[in-house]
Each structure stands twice: as C-alpha cells, then as structure tokens.
Amino acid sequence: MAVAAAIASLPSSLLFKRSLSLTPFRTLPRITCSLSSSSSSSSSSSLEFNIIFAPPKPDPAPRPDPEALADTGQQLFIPWIVRGDDGKLKLQSHPPARLLLDMANADTKTKTKKKKEKAEKRVPVPEPKHSKAARRFYNQNFRESQRLSKVLAAAGVASRRSSEQLIFDGKVTVNGSVCNTPQTPVDPGRDVIYVNGNRLPKKLPPKVYLALNKPKGYICAAGENKSVLGLFDGYLKTWDKRNPGTPRPRLFTVGRLDVATTGLIVVTNDGDFAQNISHPSSNLSKEYIAVIEGSVSKRQLIAISEGTVIEGVHCTPDSVELLPQQPDMTRSRLRIVVHEGRNHEVRELVKKAGLEIHSLKRVRIGGFRLPTDLGLGQHMELRQGDLSALGWKTKKVAVPAGR
C-alpha cells in the first residue's frame, strides 16, 4: 500500500517522458436485465429479458512503442524504489548513491590476481610412501607376469633365443608340467620353474649397466674365445660378496664392435634397455676417431661426406672432420659421426674415399662419452645420469656407485 501511495503521489512527468502514460484495464460493459409479463395470453405466461448494454467507452490513447521512442530520441525513465531516511519507500529517477559508490569501488582484477596467486602457491602432493608389508602384498598378489623366455634370459640361463630353444626342446617345466610355449606368462616369485632339472631362483638378479673400453682383438659374441664378456670374470666372482643371496646376472653387449675396433661398448642384462638404444628408431649418434694411413685431401673428405651404399642402403655420415695434426703422430685423424649403425659403416665410408684405416675407436654413444681415464679392458658402472645420456627414459634404477 505504501508503494502504491508513493507511485500515485509522483507526477506523471517523472514516470514517462512527454506523452507516455499507463494504459488502464478495460472494463466490461454493464448488463441490465428486466422481467415483464404479457396480458394478452391468459392461459400461459411468458418471460422476456430486455438486455441493455452501456455505451462503449472511447478507446484510450494508443500506447507509445518504446522502439519508436528510441528512434525519435525520447527516453523512457524507470524509477528506482528506495527507502528514505524516514524509513518510508519512495521513487526516484536515478540509482541510489550507495549503489553507484559500490559499483565504482568494485575491483574484479584483484579477485583474479588472488585466484592466480592461490593457484601458483599450490604445492604438488607427493605420492604416499607404502610400507614394506604393503609392497610385499602387492608384489605377491598383483605383480605383472612376464614371458617365460624373458624370465629365463633375465635369470641368466641363456640368451632369449637359446631360452626359446630350451622351451621347444621340452627341457623347461612350470609347476610340474612341461611347457613348450615361450610366451607363457609366469611369475618366478610364485611359479616353480625348472630348467634341465635345476630350480630357477625366485629372486631375479637386478639390472646391471656397464660401460667397457674394449681392447683390440676381442669379439662381442658370447661363448667365443677372447670374448669381451670374459673381461667381467672378476666382476662376477665378487658378485656374491657384494650382493649376497642374489643370483648372478647374465651379461651381453649392446650392439657390436668388430674385432679390430676399440672403444666404448655397453654391457648389460636388461633386454629392454638394449633394444631401446640399439634400435634405429632411437636415432642415437655414434662418434668414431679414425687414424688414417697417409694424408687426407679435401676431395677425399667430400667423398666420405657423400656416403656410400651398405647392404643396399645409402648411408651418409652426420659429420666428417679432419682433426689437427698431433706432434707425436705422422698419421691423419678423422672424426666421423654416424647414426645408421650399419655393419662396418665407418670402414666402408673411408674405403669408398680411397683411404686406409690404421686404427678405429668409438668414443661416444648418444650423449655419453667414454671417460679419458678409463683404460683399455676396464669397465665402469653407469649411473642414472649416464643412462639418461644414452636415451634410456625409465624409472630410476638402483645402480652401484663407483667403478
């Protein structure tokens, strides 16, 4: 009622500009009804209704269209209903001063900055550390199974291919039954595996990663005379003292160097690691230092850089550089970087240019360079950073420190 009284007290010029007015509700016309009887008929009586409609009221003035007002430049004022200092409601044509003040002092940027600051201050929650009992329960119940041939190779029984041959020959039993399928999933911690009547240990040896400075005259194949793996006999003899209760690893070389080539070669028992860094998709570069008989001309350098065809594939070196002459050497030295990894690739490139190699040494694989203080026939255990330099992206491995 108070609002209605306030609206009624305002002049019409405050509500609408110029000829704008409110349209009242249209009322229905009045209807009158009268009852009369006819005297001409004495036997029956009749009722008649005389309905008279009130004259229609004239139509009010047409309501102006707001869009039309906008086209003519007229403005429609919408009143604000506010409460005055006396506590009564009233209408005014402008917004309240308090609302305008709040809109002027509103600062949305500050809230956005605070949200950004809160987001930046969020510290990542570290993964929870599980107890030994929880890890043991997980390993016993949820550990993923591995292929039988892979388990035999990791246990040091034989190479992957030789392990498959042992399985095909029926010399491997799993839980008392002969198994002839190398892809059979097994878990050495739960399954009982026998090879040639000998029980396979439940605990597999840890992953080992070694770098060897290969001397001349040694081959990379296992089981051959003067194999590079024979250089690790002392390392394996002291294995039981350094790792009690853990079976010895079966080592093999990652890739090969020919018998006359010296330098860096990686030795491990991790098949996945060997496959990763030796596969052509890894695109690891390999750097060699070639000592050449006689002098090297510019034309011969260009011939080496143009590449040659090896096993039906045109191989081109990444770079060829003539190193400065050393005072104590009369022969020239070339630094050749390749990534194909073809058999005798560097020797074929030099041979195609009409040169003869006196000695060849590999000094780098990927980002790992052979230490200068590592003598011929010596090896070192690779650390996590060395493995990363070789392009091995995996979880952190536990490798012993030192050489």
Q: Which are the catalytic amino acids?
A: 258
Main-chain phi, psi angles of 387, to 5 degrees: -65, -40
Residue 206, helix vs strand vs coil: coil
Residues 6+ apart with CB under 8 A from 233: none
Contact 189, 197 (CB under 8 A): no
Torsion angle of alpha carbons 227, 230, 235, 238, nearest 10°? 150
Q: Are strands 185-186 and 31-32 parallel, antiparallel or unpaired?
A: unpaired
Query: Could you give phi then psi for residue 260, rounded to 5 degrees?
Result: -90, -10
Residues 6 or more apart from 363 whose CB is under 8 A from it? 263, 264, 287, 288, 289, 369, 370
Contacts of 256 (CB under 8 A, 6+ apart): 220, 221, 265
Q: How far apart are CA 154 and CA 270, in angstroms?
A: 7
